[in-house]
A and B are shown apart, each in its own frame.
Chain A
């Protein structure tokens, strides 16, 4: 049985790729991911803001209150060189490449054009096989238009593409007015692949402290349906490799992703929650399922349930909404309703 797939021009032994997460922070863990069967690893993200912040913060504390008080003209010894986040990250890619055979995909997270995108080139020099660009942008400025928001992401995609010769996938969020058009423009801008979707962490409110607090929850399989829909819609319509991320927990999720049209399925929550060994189990489940149903290869099923290949394309459109509504019946015991109350 052939589980192999191609993604961003990379030949992968199977469609399971750990997504950007703390799992890639240590070379040992990356080695364990490979041993468990991961086909490639997306590194944790190098954040634009982190680079800026580290640099500015270091500068601030090296300078703060210096040359002001006669007895303490400086406060800390100076180093001939500092390894800011990027150097550590690049060194990490180098070490990871040395440690494993599978492709290593560097992850770059930022939202402005400018000097920092050189890290893409440096990732390539460090040995990254591809770049996953994550232009995570929340348009909080009320005057910002949708067009400006799109342009911002497109511009940075173009800039990163201009800096590297390795493939670039763009990881995007679902909140575009016209996802299909945006997807095609990203491809025009140079994206070799699209990763659907970035799962934004949403802040929460702490009622005791009356504070806004960051809130991190792991995904569930339920959350996969949004990217599933869009992979199915985009498959065959945009000339780019599609990847599903968010909500991939089981071999069934992997199968669904592939059938919708994904070249690979990325997972993190499942591995964080239940261990790296889950990759092996999922691969066994995948193989077993394919054997039982006599699928010879993964490629065979890729896109088989995309919008253009299913009997009822409207199932992915507004008509599906009507269908869901009509399928709902009042809950006589009122349990569902009560459960929805806060």
Chain B
């Protein structure tokens, strides 16, 4: 039967989800990058009523973890439903126990895996095969797809095969390549799918299911007598799998026309060299093989599709008999193994074949193995050529790597970086976009236009930034007359679009421009001036490559046409206009059609503004004449100025400049240990407007610095004399970076710095140098050649800047208004180069100019005219010493807390992020003695995503000790910190006792009985520990050496487990609950944004009634889980709910009380998030609205109060004072439901309002009940 197959332009995730949704009845999922979109697609389709092959809508459920999803899948399968899930990386590992069971029970199912790197020395969201290889022993068949079309095809082949074979299948494709590559493919029709799926096998699955109607037992406990035998009993099923898969592939080919084999050989039939590979790299390798064969060589590629069960006969049949040398490429590293998994299998296969085949045994081919593409490392034809070349006689390096420079163990193959083998009739275009300026959306649109409206084929791949605010994107687009098999980045583009002029300075953009290419610039300058503003090296490249250059002021057009900062439509129109890919008029008509398709449902105003933008674009487009010589005086700003630590200069800064791929192995730390506080070097300059301080209006309240999400607004109280001396020193032209640094090394690398607040040596006595040492064993001697972390550090990173500019007059400090520290000066500075321009500081500023109330103590101003001055002010500010207050000074108010140095700064969170002010506050209060266990999620990514590490250190070199274990185990990870602290503190105290005679009774007693409740008490203990070290210096006896190594534990530390609601409410709840129950002194900070933020807005158990989120498309039907109430039920856990915007003083109090509480504590911090859908500038006001409406109640539950005869629960917010509607409908997540299903929205709102009322009544009752009724404090373990 003929069927019509629709061409669609979709990515691999959608292709897999399409077939999975068609062929399953139950889908249980949990989001994890890069597989999350598969579950989201399935959920949306089910919500919209899209039916599967049997005419029923699959049931989709989001679970609390991948472990939970696997359990649910296992159960659903056992009960007789066609069931699937989607996952990757650690998620797959969490499914592993169930996978053994599912396979052991011969249960047909397909898990679709967007293969991703498993976290080792670091987390990586990118792609390789380490996850699937880690579970290859589970007994699952493993079928690999190499392209988007194959994903759709083989998803079906896997489904059909598993039903027949009963062996469960992993259907695997490359994460962040195939999963996210948009391709024009042919969508399988329902008839195609129907023709492959045999309903009798589905009925068989149901017949084998558990049922009380025909009871039997599955999942027994077995003993040595039979377990082994039953394990072997399933062998025939595994033996049959290859044949079944091939038979299904053949049926598929007969029906659809695309032919697949377990091992697909392509290339010369008489090849002497063959590369064995699986995944998207096979496409690239094939392209190179074709090229080499066309140039007279004889090579081939063996694409492995069915890796498990590995069929030796099929493998041997596929291999050309002429082969003399084989390279096996693995996209995984298995440290310590003889070789990686595919290599080992190939060796074993050929080894066994030699036993049976004497001819082969006589002339066995040489087999070498190598690694490529780890964590999405680029693998392109040039690298493939290197692999083929390595098979030539005399080379044949085994255990090689390709794509990197390994100058340590010398595994890497050299390759030609400039090789271009792509056919000339393939249009190749690269676009550099700015975060959310719509570049990627427009490019996806362009692919759809070409792919679906013309006969041409289209491919799009998008490289995203790891930053959330101010990110950049690079889109790689190919169009051509034939299907495109190039799963690698474009290196020779005929068109380069630069959508942000500043990128010309920041990135090596023209590296990928082919000779004679067209360059389109979004230029904020006049046509006459644009050329002159192009940096000189870029001009030189333009001239050398003979580029044709066009300009358009897209931001101006966007402003004129109501597009705001969205320049996507404008740049897209210009691209079509000058690329000639379609006739201009036709292109414009197509763009307008696509505008209606994309935006039509959002209303006429949106369509109209886009139309206006299209119409206005071309009038602003102009060609820039290119002179024969470069004329620019603009030189790129380099971050690598004098004085930057060597490691930062040689490693961190190249990464910041997008040249991390060029770093050799020798530049890398060996164990995942990186320097703290490196975000300060990024200076991303992403804000167009920044706050400027007006001292005469300022009331010194501290709200601006408390709320600043990025810690760019800082306050100090300083001594006037220091100010004057520093000013005078600067006036004398003293070089900025002349403070001497004492560099101490211990072991290998040194992380060393002295921090802010130290005047140059010629002004005041030199600051003491401080060294933070990298732990670990002595590195190999060869490492001595490496740039050390922090060698030759300047006093501060800011001092690298010229000291020429004096602080501006407008910035002179005001008199500090409070009686404490009276007579001192107060000043605020803004690091404009790190600012995101969110405007939160201005919004929370309560001070108003009496002469013009619209002017506040901070006001947003365009950055360009003031940037250099502001940078000078900041440098000056950082050098000003803080005044050290006396012991009576309490850091318990916003006004005073602002004077504490943040040790969390310039992270990559979204502009206006509501989570980060809490972390900054924590770092201010206890940052110099803080351990943070950070659950995977937004808070771990914006803190630690290289190259910038946001947790910093103070002038003494102290700062948060931070680490991330996993998403699911964070509370336990934090507990581990506490266990070590408690144990080592105890041991240190024992050693102090033992060494009392040497230390002296007074010091020993001081150390053992120190009151460390206050800041001064802790400082005093630090001095004692320093004295201890002095007295034991040079000691050689074991006790003394032991004490020296752990004396630091005598100073009280603070352990915090930090994460989002996904962690605390869902995946990590069990651990969180257990750690609370232990009674041990671990503090939990839940940054509660009420949604999975990092993975893109999936519902968590913190998501409230009526909120629209992924997996709650029709509005969440259940209320937010009351985590605080659950924790309070223990009676001995300190619990608080805080929302800084509603009460900053309550927030500060809660943090201090929790920290001082000697047992477990839990702070649930209401955190605004862009996923909630409101203007983040008004974060604080929105938090207040959440509290005023009763959606979020502020309270503190302090078990210590019982001892005072008081009720431990104190309500800190008032009864709801505004209707919930006012809060709900100020956020898109709730408003969306009103726009899609108004009746349901009203019902859920009414229900939520009632819930708010009931909850308030309950809390009010609990807070005011007689204290005698309070539970007695439970005995601690």
Measured between beta carbons, the chain A residues less than 8 angstroms from B1094 are 71-72
Are A69 and B465 CB-contacts (below 8 A) given A59-B606, A75-B1097? yes
Pairwise interchain contact B436-A66, C-beta atoms closer than 8 A: yes
Residues of chain A from 44 to 96 with CB closer than 8 A to chain B in the complex: 51-52, 54-84, 88
B40 adjacent to A77 (CB under 8 Å): yes
Q: Is the CB of B603 within 8 A of A73?
A: no
A residues in contact with B603, CB < 8 Å? 51-52, 54-56, 58-59, 82, 84
Looking across the interface, which residue of chain A has its beta carbon closest to that of B908? A69
B466 at the binding interface (Cβ < 8 Å)? yes
Given A59-B606, A72-B1093, A84-B603: A77 in contact with B1109 (beta carbons within 8 A):
yes
With the chains together, A73 CA to B1238 CA distance in Å?
A: 27
B765 at the A/B interface (Cβ < 8 Å)? no
In the bound assembly, the distance between CA atoms of A159 and B1095 in angstroms comes to 48
Alpha-carbon distance between A284 and B444 when the two chains are bound, in angstroms: 67
Q: Does B550 contact A (CB under 8 A)?
A: no
Of B176, B1170, B1238, the residue contacting A64 (CB under 8 A) is: B1170
Instruction: Knowing A76-B1108, A210-B848, A210-B853 are in contact, say whether A65-B468 is a contact too (CB < 8 A).
Output: yes
B464 at interface (Cβ–Cβ under 8 A)?
A: yes
Q: Name the residue of chain B whose CB is nearest to the CB of A73.
A: B1096
Judge whether B561 is part of the interface by a CB distance below 8 angstroms: no
Among residues 399 to 446 in chain B, which have CB atoms less than 8 Å away from a CB atom of chain A?
435-436, 438-441, 444
A203 proximal to B (CB < 8 A): no
Option from B435, B606, B1095, B1235 in Cβ contact (under 8 Å) with A72: B1095
Q: Bound complex: CA of A313 vs CA of B910, how far in Å? A: 68
Say yes or no: A76 contacts B1171, CB within 8 Å.
yes
Contacts of A83 in B (CB 8 A): 1235-1236, 1238
- Are A77's CB and B43's CB within 8 A? yes
Any B CB within 8 A of the CB of A116: yes
Interface check A334, CB cutoff 8 A:
no
Contact of A342 with B by CB under 8 A:
no
Number of interface residues of B (CB under 8 A): 60
A115 within 8 A of B: yes
Q: Are A67 and B40 in contact, with the CB atoms below 8 A?
A: no
Interface size class of A (residues with CB under 8 A): 35 or more
Contact present for A58 and B464 (CB under 8 Å): no
A66 to B562, CA, bound (A): 19
B733 shortest CB reach to chain A, Å: 44
Nearest-neighbor residue (CB-CB) of A91 within chain B:
B1238
B1185 CB–A CB distance under 8 Å: no
- CB contact list, B564-608 vs A, under 8 A: 564, 566, 599, 601-606, 608
Q: Taking the complex as formed, is B48 at the interface, i.e. its CB lies under 8 A from any CB of chain A?
A: yes
Q: Are A71 and B1238 in contact (CB under 8 A)?
A: no
Cβ of A71 and Cβ of B33 under 8 Å apart?
Answer: yes
CB neighbours (8 Å) of A211 from chain B are: 853
Pairwise interchain contact A68-B471, C-beta atoms closer than 8 A? yes
User: Roughly how many angstroms separate A78 CA and B47 CA in the complex, as a whole number?
Assistant: 11
Of all chain A residues, the one with the shortest Cβ separation from B608 is A115
Q: Indicate whether B37 reaches chain A with its CB closer than 8 angstroms.
A: yes
> Are A68 and B464 in contact, CB atoms less than 8 angstroms apart?
yes
Report A-chain residues with C-beta under 8 Å of the C-beta of B439: 67
Chain B residues near A70 (CB-CB < 8 A) = 33-34, 125, 176, 464-466
How far, in whole Å, are A79 and B910 apart by their CA atoms in the complex?
25
Contact yes or no, A88 B1238, CB < 8 A: yes
Given contacts A59-B602, A63-B566, contact A68 B1097 (CB under 8 A): no
A26 to chain B, nearest CB (A): 10
Do B1093 and A65 have beta carbons less than 8 Å apart?
A: no
B604, A115: Cβ atoms closer than 8 Å:
yes
Contact pattern, B 1126-1166, Cβ under 8 Å of A = 1, otherwise 0: 00000000000000000000000000000000000000000
Q: How far is the CB of B1171 from chain A (nearest CB, A)?
A: 5
In the assembled complex, which residues on chain B have CB atoms less than 8 Å from the CB atom of A62? 602
Q: Which of B24-44 contact A (CB under 8 A)?
A: 33-34, 36-37, 40, 43-44
Kindly state whether residue B476 has any CB partner on chain A within 8 Å: no
Q: Which of B464, B599, B1093, B1110 contacts A76 (CB 8 A)?
A: B1110
Closest Cβ of chain B to A60, distance in Å, is 8
Is B473 engaged at the interface, CB distance under 8 Å to the other chain? yes
Q: Mark A304-328, 1 if CB is under 8 A from B, else 0.
A: 0000000000000000000000000
Q: Answer yes or no: B92 CB below 8 A from chain A CBs.
A: no
The proximity string for A residues 256-293 relative to B, scoring 1 for CB distances below 8 Å and 0 otherwise, is 00000000000000000000000000000000000000
Bound state CA distance, A77 and B1108, in angstroms?
A: 8
> Interface readout for B1223-1267 with A: 1 if CB under 8 Å, 0 if not?
000001100100110100000000000000000000000000000
A65 to chain B, nearest CB (A): 5
B1236 A64 Cβ-Cβ under 8 A: no
Least Cβ–Cβ distance between B635 and chain A, in angstroms = 29
| Distance, CA A52 to CA B605, complexed state (A) | 6
User: Are A76 and B436 closer than 8 Å at their CB atoms?
Assistant: no
- Given that A65-B910, A69-B465, A79-B1236 are known contacts, is A59 also in contact with B1170, CB under 8 Å in the complex? no
B785 to chain A, nearest CB (A): 34
CB neighbours (8 Å) of B599 from chain A are 59
Residues of chain A lying within 8 A (CB to CB) of residue B926: none
User: B436 to A64, Cβ gap below 8 A?
Assistant: yes
Residue of A at shortest CB range from B435? A68
Contact A63 B436 (CB under 8 A): yes
Contacting residues, chain A, for B465 (C-beta < 8 A): 68-70
The winner among A56, A58, A210 for most chain B CB atoms within 10 A is: A58
**Alpha-carbon distance between A82 and B941 when the two chains are bound, in angstroms:** 34
> Are B1229 and A76 in contact, CB atoms less than 8 angstroms apart?
yes
Q: How far is the CA of A78 from the CA of B1113 in the complex (A)?
A: 8
For the complex, what is the distance from the CA of A91 to the CA of B439, rounded to whole Å? 37
Q: Are the CB atoms of A77 and B44 closer together than 8 Å?
A: yes
In contact, B601 and A80 (Cβ under 8 angstroms) = yes
Chain A residues contacting B343 (CB-CB under 8 Å) are: none
Give A100 to B7 CA distance when docked, in angstroms: 51
Nearest chain A CB to B316 CB, angstrom units: 41
Best-buried of B464, B562, B1113, B1235 by chain A (most CB within 10 Å) = B1235
Contacts of B269 in A (CB 8 A): none
Q: Nearest-CB distance from B908 to chain A (Å)?
A: 9
Q: In the bound complex, what is the Cα–Cα distance between A64 and B435 (angstroms)?
A: 10
Task: Give A95 Cβ to nearest chain B Cβ, in Å.
Answer: 11
Closest to B1094 in A: A71
The CB with the most chain B CB atoms within 10 A, among A58, A64, A76, is that of A76
B462 interface residue per 8 A CB criterion? yes
Specify the chain A residue showing the minimal Cβ separation from B849: A210
Determine the residue in chain A with the shortest Cβ distance to B910: A65
Contact, CB under 8 Å: A67 / B473: yes
Q: How far is the CA of A328 from the CA of B176 in the complex (A)?
A: 85
Tell me the complex Cα distance, A245–B513, Å.
69
Q: Is the CB of B1236 within 8 A of A72?
A: no
**Cβ of A81: which chain B residues have Cβ within 8 Å of it?**
601, 1236
Q: How far is the CB of B758 from chain A (nearest CB, A)?
A: 37
Quick one: CB contact mask for B598-641 with A, threshold 8 Å, 1 for yes? 01011111101100000000000000000000000000000000
Considering only CB atoms, which chain B residue lies closest to A116 in the complex? B604
Q: Given known contacts A59-B606, A76-B1171, A77-B1097, what 15 new A-B pairs fall within 8 Å (CB)? A: A51-B603, A54-B1235, A56-B562, A58-B602, A59-B599, A60-B564, A61-B1173, A64-B1170, A65-B468, A66-B441, A67-B464, A70-B33, A73-B464, A79-B1113, A82-B601
Sample of 17 A–B contacts (CB below 8 Å)? A52-B605, A55-B602, A55-B603, A55-B605, A59-B602, A64-B436, A65-B468, A70-B33, A70-B466, A72-B1094, A72-B1097, A74-B1097, A76-B1173, A77-B40, A77-B43, A81-B1236, A115-B604
Closest A-B pairs by Cβ, 8 of them? A55-B603, A72-B1096, A67-B440, A70-B464, A61-B1228, A55-B605, A68-B435, A75-B1097
Task: Give chain B's interface residues, CB within 8 Å of chain A.
Answer: 33-34, 36-37, 40, 43-44, 47-48, 125, 176, 435-436, 438-441, 444, 462, 464-468, 471, 473, 562, 564, 566, 599, 601-606, 608-609, 848, 853, 910, 941, 1093-1097, 1108-1110, 1113, 1170-1171, 1173, 1228-1229, 1232, 1235-1236, 1238
Interface residues of A, Cβ cutoff 8 Å to B: 51-52, 54-84, 88, 115-116, 210-211
